[in-house]
Structure 1
Amino acid sequence: MEIAPFAYLFPSARHFPFPPRNYVHWTQTPESHLYSADIPGVRKEEIKVEVEDSRYLIIRTEAVADRSFSRKFRLPERVDVEGISAEYVDGVLTVKVPRSYIRMGFFIDPPHTMDLTATAA
């Protein structure tokens, strides 16, 4: 395994002067999670942002021979999958995943009547 020169000085891609290929920057605000990627030279129609099984966010390019891009992320808990939006301006793709404050899950309905009998000692 080859280690890039000066990799020990820059422990993460955020600090490295040249981010790796297919790098997506993730930040969060109180309202949403933001994913941004530099994808210059790609037409808007060639970018696909998809949600798989309501758990994964997939960002990829289609029909681009010279520069392919594909990343898959597990979505954080409590997000509004229906409210996901994407914007592509000046070669930068920004995907906004809004937070949801509604807890998803299931509810067990208790029985309507309970007859309790106890014997006297």
Structure 2
Amino acid sequence: MAVNSLTERNEERNVQPREETRSNERYIRPAVNIIETEEGLVLTADIPGAAKETLDVNVEKGILTISAPVSHEMPGTTAYREFELASYYRQFSIPESLDHEKAKAEYVNGILTLRVPKAEAAKPKRIAVQVG
């Protein structure tokens, strides 16, 4: 039985995971909310400390990638530290029924909001019934 949701799981779509290049750099997986609406998907990601100029959001072969390098240098001398600064990196598999060309992203106060509309072919259409 096929799942009709845009946010179906990778296992249900039989998508192979993307092979990652190994790196010594540590990454933070930003907290993300993904909401499906009638118009498409709305993704919000918590990426505090990232600069808008270095934020990279792209889609390639059905994989949405969010990455944001963060400066590891803080002014002054560290007196006490409970968290580490690290770059952000997160990937999601998204369906081809979305119109990636019309996607819009905004970054305000450390929150990335990405809106990806459904392609016209994927939107439900009402068919008028004529009498006669």
TM-score (norm 1): 0.61
Report the CA distance between 1:77 and its aligned residue.
Answer: 3.9
Report the CA distance between 1:76 and its aligned residue.
Answer: 2.3
Q: Measured at CA, do residues 21 and 56 of structure 1 come closer, stay the same or move farther in structure 2, by a change above 3 Å?
A: closer
Which of 1 and 2 has higher RCO (CA within 8 Å, sep 6+)? 2
Match of 2:109 among 90, 101, 117: 90
Contact 1:47/1:60, CA 8 A, preserved across alignment: yes
Contact 1:46/1:64, CA 8 A, preserved across alignment: no
- Unaligned runs of 5+ residues in structure 2 are 1-27, 73-84, 123-132
Q: RMSD value over aligned CA atoms?
A: 1.9
Contact 2:69/2:86, CA 8 A, preserved across alignment: no
Report the CA distance between 1:29 and its aligned residue.
Answer: 1.0
Q: Where do residues 1-121 of structure 1 align in structure 2 (5 Å cutoff)?
A: 21-53=29-61, 55-65=62-72, 66-102=85-121
Letter in 2 for 1:83: K
Deviations 1:79-116 (A, max 9, x none): 1010111100111001111111326xxxxxxxxxxxxx
Report the CA distance between 1:67 and its aligned residue.
Answer: 2.6
Contact 2:40/2:118, CA 8 A, preserved across alignment: yes
- Unaligned runs of 5+ residues in structure 1 are 1-19, 104-121
Q: How many residues align?
A: 83
Letter in 2 for 1:28: E
TM-score (norm 2): 0.57
Deviations 1:8-31 (A, max 9, x none): xxxxxxxxxxxx952211111100
What is the percentage of aligned positions where both structures have the same residue?
Answer: 39
Letter in 2 for 1:27: I
The higher radius of gyration belongs to: 1
Q: Measured at CA, do residues 75 and 21 of structure 1 come closer, stay the same or move farther in structure 2, by a change above 3 Å?
A: closer
